[in-house]
Amino acid sequence: MQATKTRNWNGVIREFQEFLPKVKDDSVVTLREGNTPLIEVLTMGELFERGLKIFLKYEGLNPTGSFKDRGMTMAVSKAKEEGSHAVICASTGNTSAAAAAYAARGGLRAYVLIPEGKIALGKLSQAMMHGAKVVQIQGNFDEALIIVKEVSMMYPVTLVNSINPYRLEGQKTAAFEVCNHLGFAPTYHFLPVGNAGNITAYWRGYKEFKERGVTDSLPKMMGFEAEGSAPIVRGHPIKNPETIASAIRIGNPSSWENAVKAKDESGGIIDMVSDDEIIYAYKLLAREGVFCEPASAASLAGVIKMHKKGIFKNGDTIVCTLTGHGLKDPDTAIKSSDKPITAEPELGKVVELLGF
Ligand code: F0G
C-alpha cells in the first residue's frame, strides 16, 4: 500500500482567516488546534425521546485537551505580532495549560496564577512541563484575575485571559465547525459556564455565520453554572464559590453581561446544575465512551434537566460542548469509579475474580 498524502488541518487562524482578525503569517503560533469531532450520542438513547438528536462537540481533543487552544492561538499569535515577549493569565487550570503550551511554541514566557489546591492535576502538570512560571495563590480564581490584570498594566506582559479580545475571536470558531459538520445550526447549544467567555464566543460565531448567509437559523444558547458557583443565576457575585467541577469554580465572571445577552438574544437560558447532576452526566458520558472533565459534563447535565422539564420537540438538534478532556482530572475520575481488584498472577484466581 502506498501512503496517501492527505490534507493536514492548518489550525483555526489559517482555516477561518476570513472570519478572524488578520495575523501576519510569520507570527502565527499554532498547534493545529480545532477540527474536533462532533459525536452523536447513541447509547443514552433510552433517556431521551426518539427523534431527538444529541451531539457532543468533543473539545477535549484539542492539542492541550481543552477548547482554550482556539482562543490561545489567536491571543498568543497577536501578542507575538505586537512584539510582546511574555503572557500572563489567572486560571482554574485549562487556560494556564494552553497559555503555557502556546507561549512555549511561540518562544514567549508564560506566567500563570492558579488557586492553590483547586486545579486538577493534569492541568497543573501541563503548565509546569511547558515551562510556565506558576504561582499558586491562597485564594480563588476571581482574586487571581484581579492580580494578573494589575500586573499586565504595570509590566510588559500580555494578558491572555478571555478579556483579551482575541481569545473570544478564536473560540467562536467552534460554532463554525458545529455548523459545518451538521450542515446547519442546531436548535439548542448547551455548554458549561464559568468565566462566561465561551458562551459569548459561540453566540458570536453563530451570529456571524448567519449574517454571512452560511446558515439560516440560530440556536438557543443554554448555559449551565455549577450550583455552588452560580453568580449569574443568583444575580450576584459569589464570594466563596464551590463545586467539584473546579474548572468553573468562579464567583464573578468577566463576561457576565455578554453571557446574559447571548441568552436573551437567542431565547435561551442560563441555569445551574448540582455537583451530583454533574457527576451523573460525567459517568454517563464515560459509559458512552467519551471521557470529559467534570465541568464539561455540566452541559449534558443541563440537557437532562431540560429534558425533565419537557422543553424538547421531536426533530430538535442539540449540541453539547464537552470543553475539556477527562484525563485532565484523574482524581475525580478515580473517586467516581469502582476500585480495581488486586490479584496474584494466577489464572484460576483471576478467572474467579473476573466472575466467569
Ligand atoms: N469547561 C472547562 C473545562 C473550563 O476550563 C472552563 C473555563 C469552562 C468550561 C468555562 O468556560 O470560562 O468560558 O465560561 N476555564 C477557565 C480556565 C476559567 O482558567 O481554564 P468559560
Q: In angstroms, what is the span from residue 5 Cα to ligand 1's centroid? A: 36
Sign of CA dihedral 181, 205, 224, 48: negative
CA torsion 323→303→213→25, rounded to 10°? 0
Atom of ligand 1 nearest to the CA of 66: 3
Ligand 1 centre distance from Cα of residue 107 (Å) = 25
Cell of 145: 484575575
- Within the chain, which residues score under 50 in pLDDT? none
Compute how many other C-beta atoms are within 10 angstroms of the C-beta atom of residue 61: 16
Residue nearest to atom 4 of ligand 1 (CA): 247
| β-pairing verdict for 133-137 and 38-40 | unpaired
Q: Is 196 in the pocket of ligand 1 (CB under 6 A)?
A: yes
pTM exceeding 0.95: yes
pLDDT of residue 49: 67
Cα of 195 from ligand 1 centre, angstroms: 6
Between the alpha carbon of residue 211 and those of residues 199, 202, 204, 302, the distances in Å are: 18, 14, 10, 28
Rounded to whole angstroms, the Cα distance separating 186 from 142 reads: 33
Pocket flag, ligand 1, residue 92 (CB < 6 Å): yes
Q: Which pLDDT score, from 0 to 100, does residue 44 have?
A: 78
Residue 92 Cα: closest atom of ligand 1? 19
Atom of ligand 1 nearest to the CA of 324: 3
Going from the Cα of 194 to the center of ligand 1, the distance in angstroms, rounded, reads 5
CA-nearest residue, atom 10 of ligand 1 = 194
Residue 235 CA, ligand 1 centroid: distance in Å:
20
Q: Is the CB of 198 under 6 A from ligand 1?
A: yes
Q: Which of 92, 163, 224 to mutate to test the pocket of ligand 1 (most atoms within 8 A of CB)?
A: 92
Asked whether the beta carbons of 101 and 171 are under 8 A apart, the reply is no
**pLDDT at position 298:** 98
Three cell numbers written together for 344: 496474584
Distance CA 120, CA 249 (A): 12
Closest ligand 1 atom number to CA of residue 191: 9
Q: According to the model, what pLDDT value does residue 154 have?
A: 98
Give per-residue pLDDT as tens, 288-330: 999 999 999 999 999 999 999 999 998 999 999 999 999 999 9
pLDDT at 1: 80
> Residue 141 Cα, ligand 1 centroid: separation in angstroms?
11
Q: Is the CB of 324 under 6 A from ligand 1?
A: yes
